[in-house]
Amino acid sequence: MRVALITGASGGLGERLSIGLDGAGYRVVVHYFRAVDRAERLRGVLKNDPCLLKADLGDFEETRRMAEELDSRIGRLHLIVNNAGVTEDGLLLRYPESAWDRVLRTNLKGVFNTLKNFVPIMVRSGGGHIINISSYAGLRGKEGQVAYSASKAAILGLTRSLARELARYGIRVNAVIPGYLPLGMGAGSERAMERARGMSILDGLSEPGDVVDLVTCLAGTRSVTGQVFTLESRI
């Protein structure tokens, strides 16, 4: 059975991804940090012997220990979905350095820590796929989200560079931009949701199920790498 690690799996999109990949036949490794109750509930829903692992991904040593635990308990890994992320909004002139550090620590350093520690397991497993969840804010920018936009734009550069580095090992690396989702961080502001609807060509928000379908489809491809796929219906 193929094994998928979903970071931030206890969050809104992470839960949907975990359930979808479980349904597609993956054994899902559910990463969480603080939301142990949600992670335990998710484990009860998944059918393919899920594994729960806890770590602060911004901490390299914690992430290394999590990788060692996965290696000892399962010993293989075929898919990594870098989904964990946070945002703290604010205009640059009033934005505290501490907020910048917190957002970049999770959204960018956390991805580096995950890949640095888990890719060797994937190499030993014979290859696989890495899918990085980015954002429309990283593609076009967004007022009041300098840190979040910067972190998600960096993920796109990381995706393209890593695709070149890891191709020799049979590992594909792609990025997915889900668009504005009415769950998790996206559900926090009705005003923001209405604005996203107004900017949409299709006059609506993105659907979590579409993200799950795209990630599942990508995970099964062998000749697609270094690409950015967006479900955001804006021009």
pLDDT in tens, 102-137: 999 999 999 999 999 999 999 999 999 999 999 988
Catalytic residue positions? 148
Q: Taking the model in full, what pTM does it have?
A: 0.90
Question: What pLDDT, on a 0 to 100 scale, did the predictor assign at position 187?
Answer: 47
Count of residues in the chain: 235
Provide the pLDDT for residue 36: 94
Q: pLDDT at residue 185 above 70?
A: no
Model confidence at 174: pLDDT above 50: yes
Residue 198 banded pLDDT, cuts 50, 70, 90: very low
Q: Which domains does the chain have, with CATH numbers?
A: 3-229 (3.40.50.720)
